Amino acid sequence: MDVWAWLWIAWIGAFIVIEAVAIKRKGPGDTLSEKVWKWFSLKGPKGHLKWWQALLRFGFLAFWAWLTIHFLSGGRFL
Closest by CA to 64, choosing from 48, 78, 49, is 78
For the four alpha carbons of 22, 27, 33 and 39, in that order, the dihedral sign comes to: negative
Residue 51: its pLDDT value, please?
87
Residue 71: its pLDDT value, please?
93
Residue 53: its pLDDT value, please?
85
Residue 47: its pLDDT value, please?
72
CB 29 within 8 A of CB 35: yes
In order along its 78 residues, the chain shows pLDDT tens digits of: 999 999 999 999 999 999 999 999 999 999 999 998 888 877 766 777 788 888 988 999 999 999 999 999 998 876
CA dist 22 and 25 (Å) reads: 5
Residue 38: its pLDDT value, please?
85
CA dist 39 and 34 (Å) reads: 9
Domain boundaries, the chain: 1-30, 40-78
Residue 67 corresponds to which amino acid? L
